[in-house]
Amino acid sequence: MNRLLTATQVAERLGVKPGWVWAQARAGRIPHVQLGRYRRFREEALEDWLRELEHAGGDHGPLAEPSAARFARQPDATA
């Protein structure tokens, strides 16, 4: 079984405040497990999530705007 981390532990690893971690979890932007009133963060799921953010090439995964909206605003290169 993977280790379950608290929001404080996740915040320390990411270099952010615990409030940010809580807000992202409530919004469904960071992978977490809800255990009653508790939210815990599976170490492996967070590592996978960070890898996805890295591979997105500057995109911030679930924190970024959808790709279709981003491309819709770019000027047409053929014009």
pTM: 0.67
Name the pLDDT band for 2 (thresholds 50, 70, 90). Answer: confident
Domain that holds residue 42: 4-72
Assigned domain for 78 exists: no
Residues 7-63 have pLDDT tens digits of 999 999 999 999 999 999 999 999 999 999 999 999 999 999 999 999 986 555 445
Within-domain flag for 79: no
Q: How many domains does the chain have?
A: 1
More confident of the two residues 4 and 58? 4
Q: Quick one: angle between helices 18-26 and 7-14, nearest 10?
A: 110
Please determine, for residue 70, whether its predicted confidence score (pLDDT) is greater than 60.
no
62 in any annotated domain: yes
Give domain status of residue 18, yes or no. yes
CATH number at 30 reads: 1.10.1660
d(CA 11, CA 19): 8
